[in-house]
């Protein structure tokens, strides 16, 4: 869970996995399920070759069709029970301590954020900052993966605040630098 990379194409996934990413999350927004599945096959195969868990964003059915290891669901996404019934790794999003407590016991990990402002998600909540991330991590026993505005310069701060790992979109091609920053913080 140390480094989740959220990707929408194979080359970034390849660079991230070769750089040390520990989870690849397939994230295609506003794309029909058939395209998510079709375009995701090669990335799923890449992850299988490297032994890196492959998680699909927001869509349990697409995860099942791709033979994914897991699914990450946002606060308004449905399918947590279905994911569990199929044995999928389940990540749930939270931006407050209360949301994290609701996810605890249901999720295998909690995606917490955004920690900082991010252009990667237009409808992102207000940034938590490190103090709120620290509070959220302390409030739950479920592993927390911090997301939002994270890059090699601040990934270690998230780990020191109690996160088990970080998730990145824009910085996915900098996996090796991110892994170094995380390892230095551990």
Instruction: List the catalytic residue out of 14, 27, 44, 173.
Output: 27
Instruction: List the catalytic residue out of 121, 134, 164, 180.
Output: 121
DSSP structure string for 88-148: -EEEEEESSHHHHHHHTTT-SEEEE--SS--TT-TTPPPP-HHHHHHHHHHH-SS-EEEES
End-to-end CA distance of the chain: 13
Q: Is the dihedral of CA 82, 84, 89, 91 positive or negative?
A: positive
Instruction: List the catalytic residue out of 2, 14, 44, 93.
Output: 93
Q: Which helix (H) or strand (E) is 24 found in, with range?
A: strand 23-26
Tell me whether residue 27 is one of the annotated catalytic residues. yes
Tell me whether residue 2 is one of the annotated catalytic residues. no
Whole-number Å distance between alpha carbons of 98 and 118: 22
Tell me whether residue 121 is one of the annotated catalytic residues. yes
Q: Which residues are catalytic?
A: 27, 93, 121
């Amino acid at each position: 869970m140390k480094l989740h990379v959220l990707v929408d194409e194979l080359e970034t996934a390849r660079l991230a996995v070769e750089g040390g990413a520990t989870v690849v999350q397939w994230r295609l927004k506003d794309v029909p399920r058939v395209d998510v599945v079709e375009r995701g096959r090669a990335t799923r195969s890449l992850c299988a070759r490297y032994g890196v868990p492959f998680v699909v964003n927001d869509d349990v059915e697409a995860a099942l069709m791709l033979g994914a290891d897991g699914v990450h669901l946002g606060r308004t996404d449905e399918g947590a029970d279905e994911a569990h019934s199929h044995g999928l790794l389940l990540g749930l999003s939270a931006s407050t301590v209360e949301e994290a407590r609701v996810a605890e016991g249901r999720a295998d990990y909690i995606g917490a954020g955004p920690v900082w402002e991010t252009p990667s998600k237009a409808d992102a909540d207000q940034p938590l900052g490190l103090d709120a991330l620290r509070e959220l991590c302390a409030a739950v026993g479920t592993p927390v993966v911090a997301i939002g505005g994270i890059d090699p310069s601040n990934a270690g701060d998230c780990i020191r605040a109690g996160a088990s790992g970080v998730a990145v979109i824009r910085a996915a091609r900098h996996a090796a630098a991110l892994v170094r920053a995380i390892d230095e913080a551990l």
